[in-house]
Amino acid sequence: MRYKVNLEKTDEGYAVWCPGLAGCWSQGETEEEALDNIRDAIQAYLETVEELTRDNESRYVEVG
C-alpha cells in the first residue's frame, strides 16, 4: 500500500507525517531516516487501529 506523506526540513532534521492518518508522524536526522521512520509509524498505526477495532462490526467499500 502507498501512503502520501509530507516532509518538512527542521532545525533538528526532518519532520514527516501522513495526512491521511491523523496523528501519525515521525522524524529523522536525514530525509531517508525520516521516511524509514514514518514507514514504521504507519505500520504501527495500522496495527493499533486493527487491534482496537477487531471486535467491531465492519464493512468494506470501494472508492473510485
pLDDT digit string (tens) for 29-45? 999 999 999 999 999 99
- Residues 8-29 as b/e (b if ≥16 CB within 10 A, e otherwise) read eeeeeebbbbbeebeebbbbbe
The model's pLDDT over 4-24, given as tens digits with 9 standing for 90+, comes to 999 999 999 999 999 999 999
pLDDT number for residue 64: 87
* Count of residues making up the chain: 64
The model's pLDDT over 44-56, given as tens digits with 9 standing for 90+, comes to 999 999 999 999 9
